Amino acid sequence: MTTAVVMLDEGTPPMAQNATHRAGPAELEADIARQREQLAATVNELTGQVQARARATAKQAAIAAGVAVVALAVFVVVRRRKS
């Protein structure tokens, strides 16, 4: 039977790093507040990435629409000249 060793990183809550330590209410509240701040920062970062992609997609759609209008105008002008 093989056992895996899990390495704890800096993001691990203090009470998870020492299994024999029992956190008090103040420590738990501080940990919850820290995790809430980290989650908010992550959500803000992801929101920025989604908004950047949305702006890029909107810009591409506007460019495609402009190209279509120009192509249609060229087609109409060429068609009228042949008539």
H-run or E-run covering 76? helix 25-82
**Cβ 23 vs Cβ 15: under 8 Å:** yes
Is 50 exceeded by the pLDDT of residue 5?
Answer: no
What pTM value is reported for the model?
0.52
**pLDDT category, 6, cuts 50, 70, 90?**
very low
More confident residue, 9 or 54: 54
Task: Give me the residue spans of the domains in the chain.
Answer: 25-82
**Cβ 51 vs Cβ 68: under 8 Å:** no
CA distance 40 to 51: 16
